[in-house]
Amino acid sequence: MSQSTQTDPAKLAASRAAVALVQDGMKLGLGTGSTASIMVEVLAERVRNEGLSLRMAATSKATAELAESLGLKIESLDELGWLDMTIDGADEVDPDLHLIKGGGGAHLREKVVAAASDRMVVIADPGKVVDQLGAFPLPVEVLQFGFESSRKLIRRALHKLDLGDHDVLQRLRGSEPWVTDEGNFILDLPLGAIAEPLRLARALSAIPGVVEHGLFLGMCDLAIIGKSDGSVIELNRDADIDADLLANEGVGAV
């Protein structure tokens, strides 16, 4: 197990609980990001120890490279056809299990893989649980072609939705534009709060240059929140988030 798992017990606990749901013979989607990377390590360890026979698709080149370095075989989503379960992280999780994803720049592939799964399981630490989506800047993947016009149309859409005059920031990797695995750019929207995520999702999806946004609405079936003591809280879509259980984890009202 890597050093990262030793220093982040909440993420490790969530990862272990999610990997415990994996059954021999499953087809799995593997997410992207710091928590998902820990999950891949835990999964690889279980495969080695138990000899599980699994087929897996990755949501990014980075995840595929990590998985293969740990001895896991990655196939394309088309080769697998349909998945039993996808395990992924999230940047924000609200009480309805709506998500913001894309901090790792892979939300397009993550959404495609999650949509091709019977079940999406999200793993996170308590800091990702929020009352309302929006404090984390919303990632929007856009074509390089017509980039500035897409940014202008996004600003117009935000104005029409009474979301104010917010910056629409191009994500950089160092001093250069962040380019996704699909060759697109990313714009980050620091909105502060999203009162009507469905309206915003529809407005963004209607813009021709927008490839995909980081609002994952109604896709998550189970969120596993790891705690620093190694325990987890499982949140189902119809269950209330227990603020008392998360209170000692440095989370505000949830």
What are the residue numbers of the active site? 110
How many contiguous H segments (helices) and E segments (strands) does the chain have? 9, 15
Q: Between the CA of residue 190 and those of 133, 198, 199, what are the distances in Å?
A: 11, 17, 17
Helix (H) / strand (E) containing 46: helix 34-50
CA distance 52 to 121: 19
In one-letter notation, the amino acid at residue 139 is: P
Region label for 18, one of left (φ > 0), alpha (ψ between -120 and 50) or beta (otherwise): alpha
| Spatial CB neighbours of 169, under 8 Å, sequence gap ≥ 6 | 137, 187, 188, 189, 190
CA 29 to chain centre: 12
Q: Taking each helix axis from N to C terminus, what angle separates 34-50 and 9-19, rounded to the nearest 10 degrees?
A: 50
CA distance 58 to 220: 17
